[in-house]
Amino acid sequence: MLHIANDIALQDWELTEQFMRASGPGGQNVNKVSTAVELRFEAARSPSLPAPVKTRLKRLAGRRWTKDGALVIQCDETRSQLRNREIARERLADLIRKALVKPKRRIPTKPTRGSVQRRLTAKKQRSDLKATRGKIEDH
How much of the chain, in percent, has pLDDT values that exceed 90? 33
Q: What is the pLDDT of residue 112?
A: 96
For the chain, domain boundaries = 11-100
* Residue 24 scores a pLDDT above 70: no
What's the topology of domain 11-100? Double Stranded RNA Binding Domain (3.30.160)
Q: In this predicted structure, what is the pLDDT of residue 23?
A: 74
Most confident stretch, 11-25, 37-51, 62-76, 114-128: 114-128
pLDDT of residue 63: 92
Q: How confident is the model at residue 26 (pLDDT cuts 50, 70, 90)?
A: low
Measured CA to CA in angstroms, residue 75 lies from 23, 37, 92, 125 at distances of 10, 5, 11, 57
